[in-house]
Amino acid sequence: MSSNMIATRDAYGETLAELGAENGDIVALDADLSGSTKTGVFAKKFPERFFNMGIAEANMVGTAAGLAAVGKIPFVSTFAIFAVGRAWEQVRQSVAYPKANVKIVATHGGVTVGEDGGSHQSVEDIAIMRAVPNMTVIVPADGVETRGAIRAAAACKGPVYVRLGRNKVPTIFPPEHRFEIGKGCELRPGTDLTLVTTGLMTAPALAAAELLAKEGISARVVHIGTIKPLDQEIILKAARETGAIVTAEEHSIIGGLGGAVAELLGEEHPVPVRRVGVRDRFGTSGKAEELLKYFGLTPEDLAEAAREVLARKRV
Amino acid sequence: MKERIVELEEKARKLRVSIVKTLHKSQSGHTGGSLSAIDMITALYFQKMRHDPADPSWEGRDRFVLSKGHAAPALYVALAEAGYFPAEDLMMLRRLGSHLQGHPDSKSTPGVEVPTGSLGQGLSMAAGMALGLRLDGKENRVYALLGDGELQEGQVWEAAMAGGHYRLDNLCAMVDANALQIDGEVAKVMNVAPIADKFRAFGWNALEINGHDMAAIIDALELAEKVKGRPTVIVAHTVKGKGVSFFENKASYHGVPPSDEELPRALECLGCLED
């Protein structure tokens, strides 16, 4: 792991601006948060292709669908809670239903939004977007993967939801890493159990695997960058080979990565599963690190979940 | 021009017959709002809009968005008449496997630009199209047809704000103001008046016409095209169920198709006696 720290939203802003120079059809829309979502970087370079839609997310998403209908590739950004919450039915009807080529890149996902509190901490967006037909759902772990994900989103045809975070996070992937939609990656080999993680929980999972190794527990770490379509193969392989699964996400345990993995394993290869995430609660104000502790999302929490699932495996 | 108006009026009459027959066959769908909108749809598809039924994705076409998607039968009969698909297909409206969905679906039906049906979303999409076409320096125009009840959706006013802000003079909204919605009179359910003044306040050019006066519709569309620097809304006062006397001005016929017993009487009202 590199000590290089970058927020995924910053990687997005830079990549979107690069893409803007490469492809004249790329346009960006924001709802008065371009400084926070980093679409402002694009706006500065390509003001004629940037549309600030004001604090009106429903119309922003509909406008993006219209732009896509005449051949543009719109990137739509705001905080996850507003992109998915406020504009959900516009995403469903105007974007997903017609398979419009709209990329919804939401920042400030999860509880690490921090001080703004529960009103601004989206813990349901992955579940909601995953349930919408035609939608691809991507949750990158770091800056490198975000760059790849944004490029992949621009290159593929159809609706994509990308969930990004607010804070600086460690870089996990080497700069040459190639992101592919629908492909998970094994980041650490292991035989006793597998930590299946997404987004910003992948770095803590790697730390948890270190803690477990000191106890003689061999934990595999599989990062799932694309929640939908899910890389079923890598998860089933992990279940068959290690016999126990812990999922981890900065999201509700309902309907996100944990839900997707539990559904898959329940049908195809039942093994003990423990879902680490926000346990059906709203967020609250606090510092990001405090909140990760408060909601049980630290490497220590993951290691504890691993011990618990391992005990069940041995019964 | 006078002869052309007469031709268009006759076309609209023919399309009303087609709406009534289509809805009678499907026994499901929205009669009142289809009949109130058909004169405007006739003017667009058979006079004003540049389009090519043989090539639905022709780049030079003007765009139409039926934001009040429940009036899909009015759009479908016009598309069939124009030649986008065979008229026989109309008899499959709302059936499993048909390309004619209950509400417009761009993936299913040739000539449908974007899906609608969930009210309030069409004007945003139309504005997005207008922005994109302008960005490319194209002259194509974009038309959106909304219901007056639909104006209760907040998103319509977000789109109105954006249309004014971005000065989308290639965008023309039309409001089929038939004054009725499912639960009764628009003015009593949730008053949206004054419609034209609201749009004007958002920076639009606003015209008010009788939405069944073909010459007035054509004139308004011509006028809208000449106005630069702001979008135009045409508030068209209409009669729900127009053309079939016993459907007219009745909220109860919002989502009700003609029955077996009503069909011959409805066709008689429309001067169609052969059935």
pLDDT at A86 over 80: yes
| B129 has a chain A CB within 8 A of its CB | yes
Collect all residues with Cβ–Cβ distance below 8 Å to A216 and sequence separation of at least 6: none
Nearest CA to B115 out of B104, B126, B125, B124 is that of B104
Q: Which residue of A has its CA nearest to B63?
A: A70
Question: Which of B155, B156, B157 to mutate to probe the A interface, most A CBs <10 Å?
Answer: B155
Q: What is the pLDDT of residue A314?
A: 79
What are the φ/ψ torsions at residue A73 (nearest 5 degrees)?
-115, 90
Map out the domains of chain A with their CATH numbers.
5-170 (3.40.50.970), 185-314 (3.40.50.920)
Q: Are A278 and A249 in contact (CB under 8 A)?
A: no
| Among candidates A49, A59, A67 on the partner chain, residue whose Cβ is nearest the Cβ of B158 | A59
Q: Which residue of B has its CA nearest to A92?
A: B118
What are the φ/ψ torsions at residue B116 (nearest 5 degrees)?
-140, 180
Q: What is the pLDDT of residue B274?
A: 61
Q: Please report, rounded to a whole number, the percentage of residues in chain A having pLDDT higher than 90.
A: 98
pLDDT digits (tens, 9 = 90+) for A132-190: 999 999 999 999 999 999 999 999 999 999 999 999 999 999 999 999 999 999 999 99
Q: What is the ipTM of this complex?
A: 0.96
Q: Which two tokens stand for residue B116?
A: 């609608």
Nearest CA to A200 out of A303, A107, A131 is that of A107
Contacts of B107 in chain A (CB under 8 A): 97-99
Instruction: Report how many Cβ contacts below 8 Å link chain A to chain B.
Output: 107
Q: What SS3 state is found at A212? A: helix
Q: What is the pLDDT of residue B253?
A: 83
Quick one: how far is CA B1 from the chain centroid?
Answer: 23
Q: What is the pLDDT of residue A12?
A: 98
With helix as H, strand as E and coil as C, how does B54-112 read? CCCCCCCCCEEEECCHHHHHHHHHHHHHHCCCCHHHHHHCCCCCCCCCCCCCCCCCCCC
Question: Which of A61, A70, A89, A99 to mutate to probe the B interface, most B CBs <10 Å?
Answer: A70
Mean pLDDT (whole number) for A66-79: 98
Q: Please, what are the averages of pLDDT over each run of 10 residues along chain B (275 residues)?
A: 96 98 96 97 98 97 98 98 98 97 97 98 98 97 98 98 98 98 97 98 98 98 98 98 95 90 96 71
pLDDT digits (tens, 9 = 90+) for A99-143: 999 999 999 999 999 999 999 999 999 999 999 999 999 999 999
pLDDT at A315 over 80: no
pLDDT at A249 over 80: yes
Note whether A98 contacts B114, CB cutoff 8 Å: yes
Residues of A recognised as catalytic: 57
Q: What is the pLDDT of residue B252?
A: 87
State chain A's mean pLDDT as an integer. Answer: 97
Map out the domains of chain B with their CATH numbers.
2-269 (3.40.50.970)
Mean pLDDT (whole number) for A26-43: 98
pLDDT at A3 over 70: no
Q: Are A253 and A279 in contact (CB under 8 A)?
A: yes
Collect all residues with Cβ–Cβ distance below 8 Å to A314 and sequence separation of at least 6: none
Q: What is the pLDDT of residue B1?
A: 86
Q: What is the pLDDT of residue A1?
A: 47
Handedness of CA A84, A85, A86, A92 (dihedral sign): positive
Q: How far is A75 from chain B (nearest CA, A)?
A: 13
Mean pLDDT (whole number) for A257-282: 98
In the stretch 138-157 of chain B, residues with CB closer than 8 A to chain A read: 154-155
pLDDT at A231 over 70: yes
